[in-house]
Structure 1
Amino acid sequence: MRVVVLGGGYAGLVTTRTLEGTLPSAVDLTLVDETGDHLIQHELHRAIRRPEFVDRISLPLTDLLDRATVREATVASVDREDRSVRLADGDAVDYDVVVVALGAGTDYRDVPGVAEHALPLKRLPHASRIRREFRGVLDAGGGRAVVAGAGLSGVQTAGELAQFARDEGVAGHVEVVLLEAEDRVVPGFPEEFRAAVREELDRLDVAVRTGTRVTAAGADAVEMAGESVDSADAGTLPHGLLVWTGGVRGPDALDGRRREVDGTLALDERTFVVGDAARVRDGSGAVVPPSAQAAVRASETAANNVAEAVEALRAGREPAFETWTFETPGWLVSVGDGAVAQLGPRTFTGPTANLIKSAVGVTYLADHGSLADALAVLREEVEAERDLLDAVRERVGEE
């Protein structure tokens, strides 16, 4: 019997690691991933300003897994009827149970010119190109960078660019503009969190335009509509760099659609979808936001239900799946060298928020990556916080 996990991001890695400890040894476990590396996606924006961070946030999957076979390949499609995964190179991988954790792509929302002229931020090459093109703006002595979409990714990208300009001493000559179609930044998040994020953006002099949507994009300007557009700018905003973080779509292997699943994460008794590839309505009936936090938290239920599916198939009975309900302790976002953290009803900024965000990243790396990477990130981010470093050492048992 074979279980196949598609995608080595947060959901795919955590699901596979859990299955390594729960599936019977006779069950073959295979992880298929396009790059063969696990990317710490929520830290990707840091590579825009600090390319040395790349080695800290990209980890070989073979170093993170014990018994699972890692196959480096691009998934073209999933045939649920034949129970076969078609690969871009023409090969196929048959399965008895499959977990689709291929993440999400960038939704350009069919806005003319955006796919051709805007840069997404999903992979390491994207961060490198954003850095290269923004460096061109800096070297030109001035200009404008536009980030479209003020969700968590857009806020972090705009903050990183603004901080980059400050670090280079040219902040007064380079404008970073953050556009958002809704009437507030990070829409859908608690009001106090949103207000703190806006204050951090203002601190970095990011020009925020809410209620503004991009209607077209060219090589050196975007066309806009909305409440912030008036006759003074005629709806045209010149730019030297355009980054698009305005939406997510399903993976190409699922025809660009995020599959809708309930809290069992099951499309059928042999197919599970987890992470950003899924649009999850959890056990409470709420739609779960696409985020790294949600992907990690859903993965335990996905793994448990895969193990139950395997056991049911072997026993010739109907499976009894458990249902997941998303519960979050809070939210975190970086804004340049600053951060905003919400834990329960309290919102933190400044050094406390940076410490919380670094601690969360270290915990993830220590649990799912390596101790060396965890401690390296911690030393770089909060070198003065020796008490936290000691706590991490104690957690993972380092002598």
Structure 2
Amino acid sequence: MRVAVLGGGYAGLMVTRKLEERLPPDDELVLVDETGDHLVQHELHRTIRYPGFADDITVPLDALVTRATVREATVADLDPDAGTVALADGGSIEYDAGVVALGSQTADYDIPGVAAHATPLKRLEHAATLRRDFFDAVDPNAGTVAVVGAGLSGIQTAGEFAELADREGVAADVDVVLLERAETVAPSFPEHFRTAARDALRDLGVRLETGTEVTEVTASTVVADDRDVPYDVLAWTGGVRGPDALGGERRAVRADLRLSERTFIAGDAADVVDADGERVPASAQAAVRSAPVVARNVERVLDAARTGDSVRHLEKWAFETPGWLISVGDDAVAQLGPEVFRGTAANVIKTSVGLTYLAEHGSLRDAVAVVRDELGDDRVLPDREDRGF
């Protein structure tokens, strides 16, 4: 039997590791990823300020799996019913059971000018472009950094730009503005978390323009509510769409995460209504937490195929979260249960999560680097300048 996992992000990597534990030795397990590396996506915004941090949040997938074969290729198309995958290099893969974990792309909602002028934040090269645009804008002139979309990614991105301006001594000359269509930042999150995130942004001097709908982007302005917001740097974090291999659609599935008889879907590529009837947010946390259920359901499909029986009852997933964590520059906001923390307490919580993740899925060096960069402890590794920051 062959199992194909498409995508080496949070969901794909975690499902692969679970399947490595559960599948019989004779089963073939293939992990397809277009870069061959696992990117710790929730730390990507950090590389706007510290580009050398990219080495610490990028881990070769070959180093993270034990029996799976990693195939570096781009998925161009797939047929979940037939169990076939077409690759951009002309190759193909057939599978007995598959998992689509291709993540998401940034949505531009067909707003004129976004694709031509705005930079998303999904890849390392995006962060590098935004950093380069920042220095082009502020040297020798003042500038405006506009971030569109005040979800978690947008909040963290705006915070990084504000801290970068302060570190470079140009905070008085750089205006960081965060635009959001909803009436508040982090609109899909609990009220106390939203309030703490808003306060953290204001403390950094970020200008908040909520209740503002962007209708067009030009080479120098964001057109919002029939007024122009000039910009020198434009980061677009305004929502997600499905991967190109799924026609840009996030596929709707129920709590068993089943896309077809032999194919499951996990992570941001899925629009999930869980066992409690709740829509699951697109997040790294949800992707990781869905993986064990997906792996067990894949195992049940394969067991049925081996015996020729029908698939026994598939497990259903209910998303439960202990809370939410984001960085806002050097500050952080953490919600655990009803309690919301900022400052040192939140940074310690966030760092512990990053340390645990990287120590398990990356390396000790990477984990130590997260601690150093989150808590500012330069005793652990050489100075940032020595590491290319």
Compute the TM-score of the two structures, normalised by the length of structure 2: 0.95
Number of the residue aligned with 1:373: 366
Contact 1:14 1:368 in 2 (8 A): no
Number of the residue aligned with 2:247: 255
SS at 2:102 equivalent: coil
Number of the residue aligned with 1:139: 139
| Matched letter for residue 130 of structure 2 | I
Q: Distance in 2 between matches of 1:109 and 1:384?
A: 42
Deviates more, 1:371-380 or 1:68-77: 371-380
SS at 1:108 equivalent: coil
Q: Deviation string for 1:254-283 (max 9, x for gaps)?
A: 000000111111012201010000000000
Deviation at 1:293, TM superposition (A): 0.3
Contact 2:81 2:261 in 1 (8 A): no
Number of the residue aligned with 2:285: 293
Evaluate the alpha carbon distance shift between residue 132 and residue 105 of structure 1 in structure 2; reply closer, same or farther with a 3 A threshold: same
Deviation at 1:56, TM superposition (A): 0.4
| Matched letter for residue 288 of structure 1 | V
Correspondence 1:173-252 to 2 at 5 A:
173-225=173-225, 235-252=227-244
Number of the residue aligned with 1:321: 314
Q: Distance in 1 between matches of 2:188 and 2:81?
A: 37
Deviation at 1:328, TM superposition (A): 0.3
Deviation at 1:123, TM superposition (A): 0.4
Number of the residue aligned with 2:262: 270
Deviation at 1:368, TM superposition (A): 1.8
Contact 2:242 2:248 in 1 (8 A): yes
In the alignment of these two chains, the number of paired residues is 379
Q: Deviation string for 1:175-204 (max 9, x for gaps)?
A: 000000000000010100000000000001
Contact 2:371 2:377 in 1 (8 A): no
Q: Distance in 2 between matches of 1:383 and 1:163?
A: 14
Deviation at 1:315, TM superposition (A): 1.6
Query: Unaligned stretches of 5+ in structure 1?
Result: 226-233, 390-399
Q: Distance in 2 between matches of 1:125 and 1:384?
A: 27
Q: Distance in 2 between matches of 1:88 and 1:248?
A: 23
Deviation at 1:380, TM superposition (A): 3.4
Evaluate the alpha carbon distance shift between residue 150 and residue 265 of structure 1 in structure 2; reply closer, same or farther with a 3 A threshold: same
Q: Distance in 1 between matches of 2:142 and 2:373?
A: 30
Q: Deviation string for 1:294-318 (max 9, x for gaps)?
A: 0000011111111111111112122
Q: Distance in 2 between matches of 1:151 and 1:308?
A: 37
Compute the TM-score of the two structures, normalised by the length of structure 1: 0.93
Q: Distance in 2 between matches of 1:121 and 1:76?
A: 22
Evaluate the alpha carbon distance shift between residue 164 and residue 384 of structure 1 in structure 2; reply closer, same or farther with a 3 A threshold: closer
Contact 1:141 1:170 in 2 (8 A): no
Number of the residue aligned with 1:382: 375
Q: Distance in 1 between matches of 2:87 and 2:140?
A: 44
Deviation at 1:366, TM superposition (A): 1.6
Contact 2:81 2:262 in 1 (8 A): no
Query: Unaligned stretches of 5+ in structure 2?
Result: 381-389
Contact 1:216 1:222 in 2 (8 A): yes
Q: Distance in 2 between matches of 1:223 and 1:305?
A: 47
| Matched letter for residue 134 of structure 1 | F
Contact 2:80 2:259 in 1 (8 A): no
Q: Distance in 2 between matches of 1:182 and 1:133?
A: 27
Among 276, 281, 288, which residue is 2:273 paired with?
Answer: 281
| Matched letter for residue 137 of structure 1 | A
| Matched letter for residue 16 of structure 1 | T
Deviation at 1:287, TM superposition (A): 0.2
Deviates more, 1:297-306 or 1:311-320: 311-320
Q: Deviation string for 1:96-133 (max 9, x for gaps)?
A: 11100000001100100011000000000000000000
| Matched letter for residue 94 of structure 1 | E
- Aligned-CA RMSD value: 1.4
Q: Distance in 2 between matches of 1:223 and 1:153?
A: 21
Structure 1 stretches of 4+ moved >3 Å: 383-386
SS at 2:67 equivalent: coil
Deviation at 1:385, TM superposition (A): 12
Deviation at 1:371, TM superposition (A): 2.5
Number of the residue aligned with 1:361: 354
SS at 2:145 equivalent: strand
Q: Deviation string for 1:29-60 (max 9, x for gaps)?
A: 00000000000000000000000100000000
Number of the residue aligned with 2:301: 309
Contact 2:148 2:235 in 1 (8 A): yes
Number of the residue aligned with 2:85: 85
Q: Distance in 2 between matches of 1:221 and 1:56?
A: 35
| Matched letter for residue 138 of structure 1 | V
Contact 2:36 2:71 in 1 (8 A): yes
Number of the residue aligned with 1:336: 329
Contact 1:192 1:347 in 2 (8 A): yes
Q: Distance in 2 between matches of 1:164 and 1:373?
A: 22
| Matched letter for residue 333 of structure 1 | I
Deviation at 1:80, TM superposition (A): 2.7
SS at 1:321 equivalent: coil
SS at 1:171 equivalent: coil
- The alignment status of 1:67 with 2:60, answered yes or no, reads no
